[in-house]
Chain A
Amino acid sequence: MPRSASSDNSAEFAATLYERSGAAAYGMNADQFAAILDDILRKYLLSTSSANPSPSNSSHVSAEQKADFYAGLRLEELTLARACAAGNERAWQDFISRFRQKLHKMALHITRDSASAAELADSLFADLYGVNARDGVRNSKLVSYTGRGSLEGWLRTVMAQEFINRYRKQKRTVSLEEQIEEGVQFAAPANPERTSARVSGGASDQHLESATDEALAELSAEDRFTLASYYLDGRTLAEIARTLGLHESSVSRRLDRLATALRKRILAGLRMRGMSHARAAEALEADVRDLQLDLRSRLTQDSSAKTFPGSSGKVPVQGPGESAD
């Protein structure tokens, strides 16, 4: 009996979601809609729990987290995107009326150049429409949209990834030409071990690096993200604040706090490694100007990276028609 009651509730919940999504307007029936939701659920929730496979995981997900997960999805926009991917004309009309102009504005915001913006927007629209048909089947990029965020935000993200890919590609090409001009191909290949030894320099450098690594490791991911965005990427306080959902002043205060705390922690770490306070301070101030990290050798090294659940395993920007599944 409890099982039937549970299944009744599940069916009722599914019907509610279907009604909320407006999928019927695009000719999508309840089964198709449920299949889409199941795919998304499997991609995000079940894939994360698959790392620790246990019989209770799937039931736990289906019982408690499922409703919360579905409640957080943009069902209406998900339906629109999937209906567009399926070639529904009405859905395309809605999509074009809602996003066609916005695509150009987004592209202009990203590229800051009208010609590049038009090219980028048209290229993305072609990918969304799925002009690269295979076997008569249109492969739309919209099929990879899962409704985790807004459709407009997703379009911006996809466009930004495409722009970065193009930029990197162009930069690599230019960089290679520059290297050839500089005669880099005649230089001796970098020896990682020797480079490491040179980087380390002496014991104090090793201590400094390890103390810094420890201090950074004690920070939260958000703190490290803030540091990397501000100091490595040169992002503004406003950009970081908007990314993290904070106020600019909060980010400013956080950066000040982190800078002070990091310096103290590194000094404390150096003292723990037997350095006097004065020597530790001197090492902290004098370092890095002489420290030469051979970034190029590190760029070429190949090591494993953290796998993301549901990741395509491809380039950040998926190719046209490629599914994220």
Chain B
Amino acid sequence: MTEVPKIVHDRLRAAALDQGLPATNAAEPNHPDPDLLTAFAEQSLSLAERDGVLEHLVLCVDCRDTVALALPAENVVAIPISPESGAIQAPAPHPSKPAPRRVFAWPSLRWAALAAGVVVVGSVFLLRPGKLNQSNQPSASQRIAPTKLPPPAAASSTTDHGAVASNPDEANLITVTPQSKKAADPRFTVQQSLAPHPAEHAMLLARNNKSPRQPGGLANSPGSTALALDNSAGQETAAETNRSATATTAVSAASELSSSPANPALMANSDAPAIEKAKPAAPGTTQMNELAPSDADQQKETDSALAPALRARARASAAKLEIAASQKSATGFAQHDVAQNDFAWAINSGVLRRSEDSGQTWQDNLRADHPLLCYASRGNEIWTGGQGGTIYHSVDGGMTWVQVRPSSNGRQLASDINRIDLGSSNLASNNLGSNVTQGPAKIVLSSGNHEIWISVDDGKTWEIK
């Protein structure tokens, strides 16, 4: 907190004394009555009355103490969320010297706005470790990918990964054609029927330049993460799926490969997160480490350079269950997302925007009193958070919103919400890939003061970690 010069302290104190409202003498008349002080604290005074009370409070420490002491013990008072600008505009500027203030304030305001912009941008990158880590994953992966995976496999899987996302027909083709035992798994079927994951979608956009918004291209790699975690155990299934892919698919994938030669950056970006994310899970790690050699063997067996690409594509499609169900929530701070109802979401300049046509056109959906910073979605359920503890929740795809005020042990969340993770309250079932879309959501909020707020009952109660 910036300190004010000490002369300001003394002049404030002296001003109170000059006005004849001694700080230590309560036997002084002309204080506002308890009704006015109560109405002031409850924000129910008219502007003129409020200004009058404020003018008195500036000079009267007794009444300031009274107002502060009379605050309710818990945050049960509905505090109207109003932007600071409104609160500042409410009191009229000093009538005697308006012009000097404007002349003085205008340049500083411009600089303050510029500085605030820089601070906001800086804080977004500094205070959102989740996003930072995610955005850093590609760069880290660029170093890891060449060592962990054979370049041809990485290139083919990456390129094909984008091809799957870019062409829904191909995805459907893969969905239908597998004859493996896993293909009969309802989960497997469901996941393939889901819409393309935003990660793949963003990668497609990044490659084809069909969308002006591409920053999510690299940040969407969690899709591959889910792929590694979820399908590492079932890679045999994926391989079978690849082998059973039709010639048409292979041809189309081949055309993708030939038309867009392996981009080192892209291929690294696609596969590396899978490696990194697989690290925490021991079984997944081993399976992933074994995956690359086995990929090479299978590539020889199929005697086709496209086989790894097809297998990677199958893995990508198999991972869609995790992506659409649980990992979609983990990408809450990604630039955009596609929900099950085909709504795409994005946050632009603090406003939550929604697209009903896969990103072709966008409409403002929610403009809160404070700028929104992040969101998370699971089907029609959307959570979005922003500055000052602003949280809104929608269960109908953004048609209606309800403001949520998390509080725990009498303490209300008032810091900025940097990240929202939305997933199943049962993490174990989530990792096993079953019923991830069932049950109440586990909402995890990362606030600006490095606190984690968790709710497992749709935001009714919260716990701070």
Chain A contacts to B: CB under 8 angstroms:
44, 48, 72, 105-106, 109-110, 144-150, 153-154, 156-161, 163-165, 168-169, 171-172, 208-209, 212-225, 227-229, 231-233, 235, 238-239, 241-250, 252-266, 268, 284-285, 287-289, 291, 293, 295, 298-299, 301-308, 310-318, 324
Contact = CB atoms under 8 A, between A and B. Distances in A.
B7 A225 contact: no
Interface in B49-106: 49, 51-52, 54-59, 61-73, 75, 77, 79-84, 87-88, 90-94, 96-97, 100-101, 104-105
B82 A311 contact: no
Nearest to B28: A305
B261 interface: no
B25 A224 contact: no
Contacts of A159: 70
Contact of A153 (B42, B79, B94, B370): B42
B1 A220 contact: no
B21 to A, nearest CB: 5
B1 A233 contact: no
A249 B69 contact: no
B90 A288 contact: no
B389 interface: yes
Contact of A299 (B22, B44, B72): B22
Given A256-B2, A316-B63, A316-B66, A164 B94 contact: no
A316 B31 contact: yes
A111 to B, nearest CB: 9
Nearest to A291: B10
A233 B3 contact: no
A157 B59 CA distance: 18
A315 B43 contact: no
A147 B36 CA distance: 10
B31 A156 contact: no
B12 A231 contact: yes
A225 B73 contact: no
B337 interface: no
A157 B55 contact: no
B418 to A, nearest CB: 13
A216 B15 contact: yes
A169 B24 CA distance: 9
A168 to B, nearest CB: 5
A199 B104 CA distance: 29
A208 B29 CA distance: 32
Interface string B23-39: 11111111111111111
B88 A220 contact: yes
Contacts of A221: 51, 54-55, 58, 91
B409 to A, nearest CB: 14
Label chain A's interface by main secondary structure: helix
Contact of A293 (B14, B21, B23, B40): B14
B31 A308 contact: yes
A136 B20 CA distance: 39
Contacts of B43: 245
A260 B112 CA distance: 10
A145 B54 contact: no
Contact of B23 (A44, A245, A266, A299): A299
Contacts of B110: none
B24 A252 contact: no
B445 to A, nearest CB: 15
Contact of B62 (A164, A241, A285): A164
Contacts of A110: 69-70
A304 B11 contact: no
Interface of B: 1-45, 48-49, 51-52, 54-59, 61-73, 75, 77, 79-84, 87-88, 90-94, 96-97, 100-101, 104-105, 108, 112, 370, 387-389, 414-416
A217 B84 CA distance: 20
Contacts of B16: 228
B371 to A, nearest CB: 11
Given A225-B57, A288-B10, A306-B55, A261 B87 contact: no
Smallest CB-CB A-B distances: 3 pairs: A149-B38, A247-B388, A160-B69
Given A243-B41, A261-B105, A299-B17, A249 B416 contact: yes
A232 B12 contact: yes
14 contacts: A48-B48, A160-B67, A222-B54, A227-B8, A242-B41, A247-B389, A262-B4, A287-B6, A288-B6, A299-B22, A304-B20, A311-B31, A313-B29, A314-B29
B26 A153 contact: no
B37 A222 contact: no
Nearest to B48: A48
A149 B8 contact: no
A308 B33 contact: yes
Nearest to A284: B5
Contact of B388 (A250, A257, A258): A250
B73 A109 contact: yes
Contacts of B64: 225, 228-229, 233, 235
A227 B4 contact: yes
Contact of B5 (A149, A266, A324): A266
A252 B104 contact: no
Contact of B33 (A258, A302, A310): A310
A246 B25 CA distance: 30
Contact of A247 (B1, B13, B370): B370
Nearest to A287: B7
B200 to A, nearest CB: 37
Nearest to A145: B35
Contacts of A72: 44
Given A164-B66, A209-B7, A220-B91, A148 B71 contact: no
Contacts of B17: 295, 298-299, 301
